C-alpha cells in the first residue's frame, strides 16, 4: 500500500475530492432508492386496481367467467400483465405461473419473483387473493419499464460519477494550489524575518478572510517582537551611555581611595562611593522592572480593583514625608474601578507622588485626584514645582531622560518610563501638562 501523502495541500486536495465523491454517491443512492420506491408503489397500485376488477367479475360470473377473462387477457398483446387462477388444491385453472403457489399468509398479500423471457430476466410483483370458492387469484405485473428506467438512471449516474470524480479532483487541485499560494507569503516572510529582516511584513489583500486575518495577526506579532527588540536595544544603548559615566567615576574614586591613607576624608569618600553604588543598583533594578513590564501581555484578564483605594494607601504612605517639608498632600478620591495589576498600579502611584513631592517647593500643596470620566478612570497629580517645558514633556518618558537642572539630584531617570510602561500595559494613556505653575500628570485607564 502506498503511504499517505505528507503534503498538507495534497491531503487537502484528496479530502476535497473524497468529500465531493462521497456526497455525490450518497445523493445518488438516495435518489435511486426514492425513484425505485415510487415506481414500485405505482406498479402495486395498478395491480391492486386490476385485481379488484377481477374479483368483482368473479362475484358476478363465478369461477368460469373469471377463467375466461384471464384466458382472453392472456391472448392479448399486454406482455407485462401476469395472471393465474388456482383451485383449492393449487392446480392452475387459467394463466401461467411456473413456480409453486405460495401457501398460507393473509389475503391479500404480495409476492415478488423473476421470470425469464429469452435472455432477459424480468422482475414481477404480484398480489395473491383467496376467493370465496377456495380459489386463489394471482394478479401481477412485470417491471420491465421500471427496470429499464432504473438501469438508464444507473448508467447516467455512473457517467455523472466519472464527471464528478474528474471535477472533484480538479477542484481539489485548484483549492490546494490556492491554499499553498496564500500560505507561501506567510512562509516566505517568516523565513526572511528569521534571517534578520525584522521590518518585513506579510502583504494583506484586504479580503478579511481567514488567511488575511492570520497575516494581520502575524504582522501584529512581528510588530510586538520588533518593539521588544527595539526596547532592549534602546535600553542597552542607554545603559552603555548613561551608566558608563557613573561607573567610570566610581572606579576612579575607588582607585584614588586605594592610594589614600586611612582617615576621615577617606571614610567620607567611601560613603559617597557606596551611595553611588546604591544608585547604580537602583537603576539596574528599575531597568529590570521596566523590561519585565514591557514584556508582559496586556492586563485585560487582570482582576477588578478600586484605583481610589490604591491612591488612598499611596497618599497615606507619603503624607509624613511631605509634612516634613511643609507640603500638604490633598486628595480628592472617588471610586474608580479598573482591571489591573495592583502592585504595578501602586508602583505607578508611588512614582508619580515621589516625583511631585521631590520637585514641589516647601510649604506648597500636591493634589491627588481619582474619579470617573466618560473616557475611563482619571488619575491626576498636580504639584507647584518648576514643571516641564512643553517641548520637553514627551521626551521625559524615555529612559534616563532628566531635565538639565535636575541632573545633580538623586534619581534614576526611569520613573516616568516605568509609569508609561504600566499605563500602556493597562490599555491607558498618560500626558504631562502645565499646572500654572507646576506639573500636571493625567493618567486615564479603561473603566472596568
The DSSP code sequence of 183-235 is HHHHHHHHHHHHTT-TT------S--SHHHHHHHHHHHHHHHHHHHHHHHHHH
pLDDT, tens digit only, all 448 positions of the chain: 455 555 666 777 778 778 878 888 898 889 889 998 999 899 999 999 999 999 999 988 888 888 888 888 877 766 788 888 888 887 888 876 766 666 655 667 888 888 877 777 888 889 988 888 888 899 999 888 888 888 898 898 888 888 888 887 888 788 878 888 878 888 888 888 888 888 888 888 888 888 888 889 999 999 988 887 887 777 777 777 667 777 787 888 788 877 777 766 777 778 878 887 887 787 778 778 887 888 788 888 889 999 999 999 999 999 999 999 899 999 999 999 999 999 999 999 999 999 999 889 988 999 999 998 888 999 999 999 888 888 888 888 887 777 666 665 666 778 888 899 999 999 999 999 998 889 999 999 999 8
Q: CA distances (Å), 433 to each of 119, 135, 160, 350, 354, in order? A: 104, 114, 77, 19, 17
pLDDT at 1: 46
C-alpha span between 54 and 61 (Å, rounded): 10
Rounded CA separation 341/347 (Å): 10
Q: 377 - beta bridge partners?
A: 372, 445
Helix (H) or strand (E) holding 370: strand 365-373
Task: Give the C-alpha separation, 122 to 147, whole Å.
Answer: 8
Catalogue the E-assigned strands of 45-199: 81-86, 92-95, 109-117, 120-130, 136-142
CATH of domain 304-445: 3.30.565.10
* Residue 384 φ/ψ region, left for φ over 0, alpha for ψ in the -120 to 50 degree band, beta for the rest: alpha
d(CA 269, CA 275): 10
In order of 245, 275, 276, 360, 388, the CA distances from 414 in angstroms are 17, 18, 16, 19, 16
Residues in Cβ contact with 187 at an 8 Å cutoff, skipping those fewer than 6 apart: none
Give the architecture (CATH level 2) of 9-99+108-160.
2-Layer Sandwich (3.30)
Q: Which parts of 272-327 are beta strand (E)?
A: 304-306
Q: How far is CA 391 from the centre of its chain?
A: 45
E strand or H helix that includes residue 331: strand 328-333
H helix count then E strand count, the chain: 9, 12
For 394, residues 6+ apart whose C-beta sits below 8 A from its C-beta are: 432
Amino acid at each position: 500500500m502506498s503511504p499517505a501523502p505528507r503534503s498538507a495541500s495534497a491531503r487537502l486536495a484528496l479530502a476535497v475530492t473524497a468529500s465531493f465523491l462521497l456526497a455525490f454517491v450518497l445523493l445518488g443512492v438516495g435518489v435511486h432508492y426514492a425513484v425505485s420506491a415510487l415506481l414500485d408503489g405505482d406498479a402495486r397500485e395498478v395491480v391492486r386496481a386490476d385485481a379488484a376488477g377481477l374479483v368483482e367479475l368473479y362475484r358476478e360470473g363465478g369461477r368460469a367467467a373469471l377463467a375466461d377473462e384471464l384466458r382472453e387477457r392472456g391472448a392479448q398483446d399486454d406482455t407485462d400483465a401476469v395472471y393465474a387462477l388456482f383451485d383449492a388444491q393449487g392446480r392452475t385453472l387459467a394463466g401461467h405461473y411456473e413456480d409453486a403457489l405460495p401457501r398460507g399468509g393473509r389475503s391479500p398479500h404480495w409476492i415478488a419473483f423473476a421470470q425469464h423471457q429469452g435472455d432477459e430476466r424480468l422482475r414481477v410483483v404480484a398480489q395473491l387473493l383467496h376467493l370465496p370458492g377456495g380459489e386463489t387469484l394471482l394478479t401481477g405485473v412485470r417491471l420491465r419499464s421500471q427496470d429499464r428506467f432504473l438501469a438508464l438512471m444507473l448508467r447516467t449516474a455512473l457517467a455523472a460519477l466519472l464527471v464528478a470524480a474528474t471535477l472533484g479532483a480538479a477542484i481539489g487541485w485548484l483549492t490546494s494550489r490556492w491554499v499553498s499560494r496564500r500560505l507561501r507569503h506567510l512562509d516566505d516572510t517568516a523565513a526572511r524575518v528569521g534571517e534578520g529582516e525584522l521590518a518585513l511584513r506579510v502583504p494583506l489583500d484586504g479580503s478579511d478572510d481567514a488567511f488575511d486575518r492570520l497575516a494581520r495577526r502575524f504582522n501584529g506579532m512581528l510588530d510586538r517582537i520588533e518593539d521588544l527588540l527595539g526596547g532592549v536595544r534602546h535600553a542597552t544603548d542607554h545603559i552603555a551611555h548613561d551608566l558608563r559615566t557613573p561607573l567610570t567615576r566610581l572606579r576612579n574614586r575607588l582607585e584614588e581611595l586605594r592610594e589614600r591613607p586611612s582617615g576621615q576624608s577617606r571614610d567620607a569618600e567611601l560613603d559617597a562611593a557606596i551611595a553611588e553604588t546604591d544608585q547604580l543598583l537602583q537603576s539596574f533594578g528599575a531597568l529590570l522592572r521596566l523590561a519585565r513590564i514591557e514584556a508582559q501581555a496586556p492586563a485585560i484578564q487582570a482582576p477588578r480593583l478600586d484605583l481610589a483605594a490604591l491612591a488612598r494607601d499611596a497618599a497615606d504612605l507619603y503624607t509624613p514625608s511631605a509634612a516634613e517639608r511643609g507640603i500638604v498632600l490633598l486628595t480628592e478620591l472617588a471610586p474608580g474601578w479598573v482591571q489591573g495589576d495592583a502592585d504595578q498600579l501602586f508602583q505607578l502611584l508611588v512614582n508619580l507622588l515621589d516625583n511631585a513631592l521631590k520637585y514641589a517647593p516647601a510649604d506648597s500643596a500636591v493634589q491627588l485626584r481619582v474619579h470617573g470620566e466618560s473616557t475611563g478612570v482619571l488619575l491626576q497629580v498636580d504639584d507647584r514645582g518648576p514643571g516641564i517645558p512643553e517641548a520637553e514633556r514627551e521626551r521625559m518618558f524615555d529612559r534616563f531622560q532628566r531635565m538639565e537642572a535636575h541632573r545633580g539630584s538623586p534619581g534614576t531617570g526611569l520613573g516616568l518610563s516605568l509609569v508609561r510602561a504600566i499605563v500602556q500595559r493597562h490599555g491607558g494613556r498618560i500626558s504631562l501638562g502645565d499646572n500654572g505653575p507646576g506639573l500636571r500628570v493625567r493618567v486615564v485607564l479603561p473603566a472596568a
